[in-house]
Structure 1
Amino acid sequence: MPILLISLLLAALPSLAYAKVVSNEMFLDHVRRAQVRVAVDPSTLDLRNGPQGPGTYPLGAEVGCKYEEKDSLHPLGGHSPKFPCVTPDGRRLKVKYKGEANPEVYGEVVGARLLWALGFYADSMSSVKIMCENCPADPWTATASSPRNKRAFEPATVQERLKGAEIERAAGEAWTFGDLDLVNPELGGASRADTDALKLLAAFMNHGDNTANQQRLVCLEGDPECKSPAMYITDVGGVFGGKGYFTSYKHWTRRPKLWKDSARCVLDFSGTDNKYKDPVISEGGRKLLADLLGKLSESQVKDLFLGARFDHLARREPPFIGANGKSRPLTVDDWVKAFIERRSQITGVRCPQ
């Protein structure tokens, strides 16, 4: 497609919240040229606090904002408790809260933080304390007549989206995991090692809620001609879990096997996208992810879970049953051990391709 035409089309794309639906041909043209990650050294990164910049916050930061009344024309959607809140400088936050009934408060942070730490494109998710002015006690279920006051929500999660113009093939739908096979390095797209590493990481985290509305295709800020679009997972609230796709130690560790056939590197994976199941991973993709995960120290892995408030989540989970049959409270260290054991399934095999 001529560069001038692409530039004109992109000029019409909204820069913030609402995506542009394009023809399937144009959508696939962008997919073929897309990238999924940038080069990073995970060993140098702060996984407890995550990326820092405009719209992001260190762990536990107190964030003040004013509750925004519900807008029936632009509802936040989804099924997990959340509400809009506007900061004094005018930024509109999407706040997820109520961790006792909403595991996405933890899952969103740990999933996005791990993607970021390994160089994959991701939204920035911060676990904070929200101080909400003029706020109902439970904003998700509140009505216009609900009493208002200054209220604290902790832990709460706020999102800073990857900056750029979003492209969709249909309203609310971006790319599927099957589309990763269409990315073409000869056209400037990511290598197969990169796309296979993303597939493998999604299985590692159990990103099972993986229909097209959970991913985004974005023309990044600073790339006005969209020569290198970004494909990334935007909704990772259900990772590190299992059945029902919510974050849970019990469910994540109940599926200990990553591979259906480790000799041929066939993953044991299925999700809500019924056209994508048990993908085969190349040696290049396995080695890339193994090398990236291997650069994370045990203390960084612990920081990953602490930064997502898994110490809070552990208090709400069933007790850990040891080999002796005795139970004790679940801890972050149990999550760290499970992570390292699952990582060894990637580092300890070789793929035939």
Structure 2
Amino acid sequence: MRAEHEIVRVQLSERSYDIQIGSAILSSAPEFFAARTKISHAIVITDESVQPLYADSIVAACATAGMRTTLISVPAGETSKSIAMADRLWNESLAGGADRKSVVIAVGGGVIGDLAGFIAATFARGLAFFQVPTTLLAQVDSSVGGKVGINLPAAKNMVGAFWQPQGVLIDVDVLKTLPEREYRAGLAEVVKYGVILDADFFAYLEANVAAIRERDKNVLTRVIARCCQLKADVVQTDERETTGLRAVLNYGHTFCHAFEATCGYGELLHGEAVSIGMLCASRLAESLQRITSDVTERQFNLLTELGLPTATPQVDIEPVMAAMQRDKKVEHGKLQFVLPIRLGNVELVGGVSNDLAKTAIIDGQ
């Protein structure tokens, strides 16, 4: 694969779109947008950390290209994915002269993509929008597939919609400015793809740990493109989670979301919670005799080498279990988990006892 430029096409009939991945391509953002929809007014939504790094230059480039722009910046972090912030953005968009032909451009990490996408899905009954993800986690996961939303105080991503972007522009060079902790957190979702869908890709990650940690742009372009293709394959088959296939993307997330909610949003980065959650799910699969211990061990070793946390947070178990009961995969009060049957293959498993789930958490402390 060449690092300069990769295109992954998400095939969803009239909602199909391109994911463009490469190095030094952020400067072509206005052309990327204009090639996919007519823009007279762009609402650029970003956060206070990303604004001076990338959003300001995109706004300036869009203005030079003849687009009227409204820039809205919110505080960085998970707490901005709230009802109060959505209300603020609806009103600021209105004050900025937004109408049904306005286009939302999300410039930032997963929080911004989810929040801006939710604004796009709901304002004026739906606006076109683009994703320009600036974190690794957003590039390989949240910017692809059309899931947008906000958090309730007691449940993550509980209010939202499926709203596909017009396109996703991924410049690997932006990862140079990403803080080390956030970069590592994004690698958890990368590892996830190997576990759930592609054992060969998992082995590629094991063989390229040093280059990944050094943020080699050639390796990153290959890694990101493969993750995007794997997710696109799933989304194309089960866009709205009606067949159960898309649920495989939630490997580790039942535990992950419960840890995030229990520890308080922002204490654990999402990718850190994913890393811990995947190991909980793998231990649970072991206890159900679905896998052997070497599957969990390979995940543990790779996550550790990539600098990710693996130990379960020291929290009271009952609030964690209560949070898991609010997981969107719960049916008729019964927990369901995405569990591996081997590297590269997982299944949705129901009827798991609370005691086994508790043990999977406690054994990681």
TM norm structure 2: 0.28
Question: Relative CO higher for 1 or 2, CA cutoff 8 Å, sep ≥ 6?
Answer: 1
**Structure holding more helix per residue:** 2
Q: What TM-score comes out, normalization by structure 1 length?
A: 0.29
